[in-house]
């Protein structure tokens, strides 16, 4: 973006220039999603200059965003995650892969994780901004360390001390901070795990983050908790994960009390015949008074009163 608008004052950027920029970025091979992110940044610049009273209008509007089809992301099953972990054991990125798998941290968060961010006593990782780097939302968040990850990080720490590696960063190679130079190492691990099948999407650190989120949702973790663990600024982003696995959704639907049909006795009563419903505490049956008599209702069905006794009974 800076290359395209270099030398131009922001109040000299026109709508025509904006359209030319979008066209050029697409021709350069940038995805629609990438261009939209760049437009968002440009819009933010306009808003700041409006606040500072240098200009009075933001030329970037919602209509400028390019439309694109959201493709499904790859999510690894539990068996695939186990294969990946086994294949990575002899690799220098094994601790990084396990941390990504068990915390759902973003790539930049992993690369900038320091030993001071890990509290072995409380078994918690603090993902927080640094002097030369910041989290995506500029806010810290906390992720518990699972028992399996605790053992991996503890052994990794002992190895670092044994080799006298002088680095404040958790993940290093030859004593230097890991940054973005793990593609080849990760590709070898993925191949060793047999997860690089033809036609399948590449296994990346983001796939591990996506898998972490998917398995949390599958395990029934409330979406608000998932949002906090993932560091999603918008709840709508977390909601996208709620429907990744249709089979799991169908199981939830089957929990409806009438999923297998309505009670024959209730159908015989009819809602228009109901006079009153007396609720009771706990799992005790409710008393339903109708024009056809009183009934006791509980989870296992309906029981009419004993004929002629005047006393209501239940076999539940």
* CA atoms of 86 and 80, how far apart (whole Å): 10
Tokens of residue 98, six digits: 């396990």
Each residue's pLDDT tens digit, 39-88: 988 999 999 999 999 999 999 987 788 876 656 778 999 999 999 999 99
pLDDT given for residue 266 in this prediction: 46
Burial of 19 (0-12, 13-18, 19+ CB in 10 A): exposed
pLDDT given for residue 286 in this prediction: 58
Q: pTM of the predicted model, to two decimals?
A: 0.64
Tokens of residue 15, six digits: 């709508």
Count of Cβ atoms closer than 10 Å to residue 100 Cβ: 23
pLDDT given for residue 293 in this prediction: 53
List phi, psi (to 5°) of 7: 85, -5
Q: If you classify domain 78-250 with CATH, what class do you get?
A: mainly alpha
pLDDT given for residue 137 in this prediction: 83
pLDDT given for residue 310 in this prediction: 42
Helix (H) or strand (E) holding 201: none
pLDDT given for residue 7 in this prediction: 86
Query: Cβ distance 278 to 289 under 8 Å?
Result: yes
* Annotated domain spans of the chain: 2-64, 78-250, 256-316
Helix axes 15-27, 32-51, angle to 10 degrees: 150
Provide CB contacts within 8 A for 203, sequence distance 6+.
Answer: 74, 76, 84, 186, 190, 195, 196
What sign does the dihedral 154-156-159-160 (CA atoms) show?
negative
What's 58's DSSP letter?
-
Query: Cβ distance 213 to 230 under 8 Å?
Result: yes
Helix (H) or strand (E) holding 194: none
Task: With H, G, I as helix, E, B as strand and everything else as coil, classify residue 245.
Answer: coil
Can you list the residues of the chain whose pLDDT is less than 50?
245-246, 264-277, 295, 299-303, 305, 307-316
Each residue's pLDDT tens digit, 179-198: 877 999 999 999 999 999 87
Residue 69, CA distances (Å) to 64, 240, 243 in order: 16, 14, 17
pLDDT given for residue 159 in this prediction: 96
**Token pair 């990744």: residue:** 244
List phi, psi (to 5°) of 137: -100, 10
pLDDT given for residue 49 in this prediction: 93
């Amino acid at each position: 973006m800076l290359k395209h608008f270099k030398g131009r004052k922001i109040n000299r950027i026109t709508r025509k220039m904006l359209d030319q920029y979008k066209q050029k970025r697409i021709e350069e091979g940038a995805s629609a999603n990438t261009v939209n992110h760049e437009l968002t940044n440009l819009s933010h610049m306009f808003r700041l200059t409006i606040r500072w009273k240098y200009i009075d209008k933001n030329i970037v509007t919602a209509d400028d965003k390019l439309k694109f089809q959201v493709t499904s992301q790859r999510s690894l099953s539990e068996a695939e995650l186990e294969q990946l972990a086994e294949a990575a054991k002899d690799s220098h990125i094994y601790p990084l892969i396990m941390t990504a798998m068990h915390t759902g941290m973003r790539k930049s968060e992993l690369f900038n994780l320091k030993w001071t961010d890990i509290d072995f006593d409380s078994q918690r990782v603090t993902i927080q901004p640094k002097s030369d780097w910041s989290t995506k939302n500029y806010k810290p968040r906390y992720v518990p360390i699972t028992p399996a990850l605790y053992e991996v990080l503890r052994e990794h720490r002992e190895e670092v001390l044994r080799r006298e590696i002088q680095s404040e960063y958790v993940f290093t190679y030859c004593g230097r901070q890991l940054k973005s130079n793990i593609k080849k190492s990760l590709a070898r691990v993925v191949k060793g795990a047999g997860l690089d099948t033809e036609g399948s999407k590449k296994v990346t650190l983001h796939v591990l983050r996506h898998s972490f989120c998917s398995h949390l949702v599958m395990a029934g973790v409330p979406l608000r908790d998932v949002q906090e663990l993932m560091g999603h600024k918008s709840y709508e982003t977390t909601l996208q994960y709620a429907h990744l696995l249709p089979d799991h959704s169908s199981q939830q639907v089957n929990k409806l009390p009438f999923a297998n049909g309505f009670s024959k006795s209730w159908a015989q009563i009819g809602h228009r015949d109901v006079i009153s419903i007396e609720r009771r505490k706990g799992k005790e049956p409710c008393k339903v008074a109708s024009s056809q008599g009183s009934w006791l209702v509980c989870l296992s069905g309906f029981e009419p009163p004993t004929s002629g006794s005047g006393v209501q009974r239940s076999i539940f």
